[in-house]
Chains A and B, each alone.
Chain A
Amino acid sequence: MLASIAFYVLSAIAVISAFAVIAARNPVHSVLFLILTFFTAAGLFVLLGAEFLAMLLVVVYVGAVAVLFLFVVMMLDVDFAELKQGFLSYMPIGAIVALALLGELGLVASAAMSADGAPIALAPAAPGAVTNAEQIGQVLYTDYLLVFQLAGLILFVAMIGAIVLTLRHRPGVKKQDIAAQVGRKRAEGVELKDIRPGQGIG
């Protein structure tokens, strides 16, 4: 019973905060609600017995990706009145996208349910002594090693591409020479001068 209470509380928070992500007027609040949604989704994963996925969701999405989101959104200087102006002209396209997504969700839900409404596509939680982490490791690093490494390579290429596209070499920029900074000795930086009283440094 405790598990079902936890499920209903978590899913209610997840749905409400997901709605608040698009309803909030302040973009920073939107990101904060997004983080709350991720967090409750991690809680739902734990209830399903997928604790490893839950922790990864928190570490990767909440702990790293969303921080960078928040970072960027806080730095934005957006004029909200201007943003709201084009809202009606984008409305039809937005509605089509939303309808298509809703249809897809319905298809997935109908595929995962049998006729009497019981879920059929869900795998049973970790059978026996094999933990989540081991199962996922088995799939990623043994069964589909090559595909997984290829996916990593593609991401790597995308990252290098993004860096190359934004990299500019400007002339006349002062750069730090770390080796010179670290290798600096006291004799090069400090000079002792013997100053006579009343004369100062001439």
Chain B
Amino acid sequence: MNPSADYVPFIALPVEWEWTLMKSGQVLGIMILLLVSLAFLLLFDRKVWAAVQLRKGPNVVGPFGLLQSFADFFKFVFKEIVIPAGANKTVFILAPLITFVLAFVGWAVVPWGPNVVIADLNVGILYLFAISSLGVYGIIMGGWASNSKYPFLGALRSAAQMVSYEVSIGFIIITVLLLVGSLNLTTIVDAQRDGIWMWHGFRLFNFGEFPNNILVGVVMLAMLVMFFVSALAETNRPPFDLPEAESELVAGYQVEYSSTPYLLFMIGEYLNIVLMCAMTSILFLGGWHLPWGPVDNPALGMLIFYVKIWIMFFMFAMVKAIVPRYRYDQLMRLGWKIFLPTSLAAVVAIGYYVTFLAPAATTSVAGG
């Protein structure tokens, strides 16, 4: 909250207010960047899906269908908003708004590059975790307020599913925190600056500390895979899209939604997916750093981070295209009986490494 001491204002405004204006500008910039990227990510998602099924995908609006998302946007916005007669009107309208706002709020702490971050919180990763755990409210409120059977069933499924996978996500984050010794996202990225062998997902390649890198490397690679799967479940993406399983629940919690409220739900859902992609690249894939060395140029760093988000999104799109949907009891079993014990064991293993095996340099906080 405090502007730095040597800060020189260039307009005749109190420093505090000018700082607020500057941050608002940054927020606006990030929002526009995200929304425009999202338009093309949606198209990319559909194109990947189509390519896997040997189709062309959207190819009519604009060259290669590039403007398809904008056409969809106008179609959504100009349709009539239908509110069911039995619905709880306030909560019904509030639910998509909450999903939409929460999807943006998380981006406040995401570091895009060296010193390119809106709020450099000490507890950045906890903040992200907290915001992503709130995402369930939009869904459960929407499902309840619709006052209809299928949306309600979808909402209940979703609540159970998201709460379950949050637990394992929490433990996976703890393994990374133990290795870094900080909750600050910029510090987490900079701990991986040397190269791909220091990225938390690929510590196996860190031949410098030979026998121990196998323990850490194998555990952290497993954590990367588990984080990816948990992220799929947390964002209700296929193969875990049971809240809106169209073969059983029509469209789950969003059956009764149309027009702009539906659009808000959809944007919120996709933004959460992109946020999870960003989290994966920050925690496991070195953030804005290149595989062969550190990057200190803010513009280049942003570009690299942006490309990593797209690569992770490509993985999400491929999973959607390839993997068939899980059965609900299998989903719960995977979360509670496999991921939870495995991630707990990983926390113990990494804790052992940090306390007894790690070279003194990496045990900066956790050891002392």
Q: Which residues from chain A sit less than 8 Å from chain B, CB to CB?
A: 1-3, 26, 28-29, 32, 35, 51-52, 55-56, 58-59, 62-64, 67-68, 70-71, 74, 131-134, 176, 178
Q: Is the CB of A55 within 8 A of B127?
A: yes
Contacts of A133 in B (CB 8 A): 122-123, 183
| Interface SS majority for chain B | helix
Q: Is the CB of B159 within 8 A of A67?
A: yes
Contacts of A32 in B (CB 8 A): 91, 141
Question: Cα distance A113–B163 when bound, in Å?
Answer: 41
Tell me whether A55 and B130 are in contact in the complex, defined as CB-CB below 8 angstroms, given that A132-B122, A176-B329 are known contacts: yes
Q: Is the CB of A59 within 8 A of B126?
A: yes
* Distance from A89 Cβ to chain B, minimum over Cβ atoms (Å): 31
Question: Cα distance A194–B331 when bound, in Å?
Answer: 37
Contacts of A35 in B (CB 8 A): 137
Q: Is the CB of A64 within 8 A of B166?
A: yes
Identify the closest chain A residue to B132 (Cβ): A63
Q: Is the CB of A67 within 8 A of B1?
A: no
Contacts of B137 in A (CB 8 A): 35, 67, 70
Identify the closest chain B residue to A176 (Cβ): B329
* Distance from B286 Cβ to chain A, minimum over Cβ atoms (Å): 23
Question: Cα distance A149–B337 when bound, in Å?
Answer: 24
Decide yes or no whether B263 CB sits under 8 A from chain A: no
Contacts of B136 in A (CB 8 A): 63, 67
Question: Cα distance A51–B133 when bound, in Å?
Answer: 17
Contacts of A67 in B (CB 8 A): 136-137, 140, 159, 163
Identify the closest chain B residue to A178 (Cβ): B333
New A-B contacts (7) at CB < 8 Å, excluding given A71-B156, A134-B365: A2-B16, A32-B141, A59-B133, A64-B133, A70-B159, A74-B144, A132-B122
Decide yes or no whether B20 CB sits under 8 A from chain A: yes
Chain B 160-184 interface 0/1 with A at a Cβ cutoff of 8 Å (1 = within): 1001001000100000000000010
Q: Is the CB of A63 within 8 A of B134?
A: yes
Identify the closest chain B residue to A59 (Cβ): B130
Contacts of B205 in A (CB 8 A): none
Question: Cα distance A67–B121 when bound, in Å?
Answer: 26
Contacts of A26 in B (CB 8 A): 88
> Which residues of B from 108 to 140 have beta carbons under 8 Å from A?
121-123, 126-127, 129-131, 133-134, 136-137, 140
Q: Is the CB of A2 within 8 A of B163?
A: no
Q: B123, B140, B333: which contacts A51 (Cβ < 8 A)?
A: B123
Tell me whether A63 and B140 are in contact in the complex, defined as CB-CB below 8 angstroms, given that A52-B126, A132-B123 are known contacts: no
Contacts of A134 in B (CB 8 A): 365
* Distance from B302 Cβ to chain A, minimum over Cβ atoms (Å): 26
Q: A3, A55, A64, A176: which contacts B126 (Cβ < 8 A)?
A: A55
Identify the closest chain B residue to A47 (Cβ): B1
Q: Is the CB of A58 within 8 A of B130?
A: yes
Tell me whether A2 and B126 are in contact in the complex, defined as CB-CB below 8 angstroms, given that A59-B133, A64-B163, A74-B144 are known contacts: no
Contacts of B88 in A (CB 8 A): 26, 28
Q: A58, A59, A71, A132: which contacts B140 (Cβ < 8 A)?
A: A71
